[in-house]
Amino acid sequence: MPRRYEASVLEAIRRKQYETEYKGVPVLVKPVPEDVPEGSVDPRLYRSMRMLPLLLPFMPKAKKNATVAQRVEMPRKMFAQYKGDYVVTEGVDTRNITVASADGWSVPVRVYRRSGSGQDLPMLVYYHGGGFFGGGVDIVEQMCKVLVSQLDCVVLNVDYRLCPEAHYPQPLDDCWAATRWAFEHAAELGAAKKPLAVSGDSAGGNLAAAVTLRDRQEGTGMVGMQALIYPAVNISGRHTEFYQGTDPALYHVSRRHRRAVEAMYKMMGTLAGQDSGNLLEEVYLQGHLDPEHIYASPLLDDFHALPPTLLAFGEHDFLAFEDFAYARHAAKAGVLLRTIVYRGLGHGFADQIGVMPQAEDLMGEIAAMMREVL
C-alpha cells in the first residue's frame, strides 16, 4: 500500500526542522510539516482524535475491584490493531528464530536484513511497546523494515512475554537473552562483531533503557547506542532534580485543539490506570521489583557511562515531562545525546508507518545516528 502522504511532506519536516537549546539540552525540533499555528495538533492526528471529547464519557471505566487482567483487556485489544500501512513489501528478507531466555522459555525473534546484503553490518535489537501487556512484533514490523531499507543493517524484533501472565523479570530477561544472543552470533546474522543498538517505544523504550543499564552493570559491552522512543522511564513516579510530575496545563496547545488534547491525556490516563492505581507497576512488576529500581525507572539512574542516546517524543505526549527530565539528567552527566521533539504529536505515532510521516522520518534519524556511532 502506498504512503498516505507525498515525499514532499517528508522533505518539509526536514526543511523546517531546527536546533535549539532548552534548559541546557540541545533539542532538534521537528515542526508539523504543514503551516499551522504553534501548539496545533498535526492535522493527520487531529482527524483521528477530534471526536474524543464526545466519546470519552462513553469509554468503559475500570471496575472498582477489577483484577489487573480485567483492566488490561480493553486496551490490549486496542493495541493489537495496527494503524500503519505496509510500505516496505519487498527487498527485505525475514527470518524467524527462537532464543532461550533465563528460565528456558523460547523467545520468538524476527530477523530482518536487505535481500542480498553483505557482512559486517550494523545491528539493532527492537522491543515493541504496549504497556508491557499489549502490542507485538507485527505492530512494529514496518518500523523495522523501513529502518533496514534506509540503512543496510540487521534488525531483530523481539516477541517478549506479555504481562500480567508474565511479570518482572521475564520480559526483561527475554529482551536481554535476545540481545546477548544477537551479539554473540553477529557473524551468523551478517552483522559486525561490535556493539549494537537497542531501541523500543513506550514500554519497549523502558526495556531498551533497562537492557542498556544491565549491560553497563554486567560489563558485557554489547550496547553501543540506545534509541528511546517516548519511553516510560519512571514507573515509580518519584520526583528528581528535573522531574516534578506531569502538569497538562503546562503543555503548549492551541486554543482550538485544547479540548481534544486534554481528552487524549485523559484517555491515556485511563488506559494507564491512573484512576485506579499504577497499572504499569501492577501489571509488570507485580511486587517482584522495587519500582524505584533503575531497571523499572531508568530516570532514577546516575547516568554514568551510558552509550550514545537518541531520545524522541511528541510535544503533547503524556510522558513528555519524564522523557525531557531523562534528557536533562543525561545531558548533565555528559552522555552523547540527541533529543528530538516532534511538534503536534502525542504518544504512539512511531508505529504508524505510511500514515504519519514523522514515523518514517524518525527511522531516518535512528539510521543516521547508527551510521555515526556504530
pLDDT digits (tens, 9 = 90+) for 74-88: 888 888 887 789 999
pLDDT at 353 over 60: yes
Strand order of the sheet with strand 18-22? 18-22, 25-30, 337-342, 309-314, 223-229, 196-201, 123-127, 154-158, 106-114, 92-100
Write down the pLDDT at residue 84: 86
Q: Cβ(147)–Cβ(153) under 8 Å? A: yes
Residue type, 108: P
Using CA of residue 89, residue 92, residue 364, residue 213, what is the dihedral sign?
Answer: positive
Among 19-23, 45-49, 53-57, the minimum mean pLDDT is found in 53-57
Tell me, what's the pLDDT at 268? 66
Lowest-confidence region among 47-56, 223-232, 278-287:
47-56
More reliable by pLDDT, 208 or 36 = 208
Would you state the pLDDT for residue 234? 96
What CATH number is given for 7-373 in this structure?
Answer: 3.40.50.1820
User: What pLDDT is recorded for position 71?
Assistant: 83
| Mean pLDDT, residues 341-369 taken together | 96
How much is the pLDDT for 287? Answer: 97
Is residue 168 packed enough to be buried (19+ CB in 10 Å), middle (13-18) or exposed (0-12)?
A: buried
More confident residue, 264 or 188: 188
**pLDDT over 50 at 56, yes or no:** no
Note the pLDDT of residue 277.
54
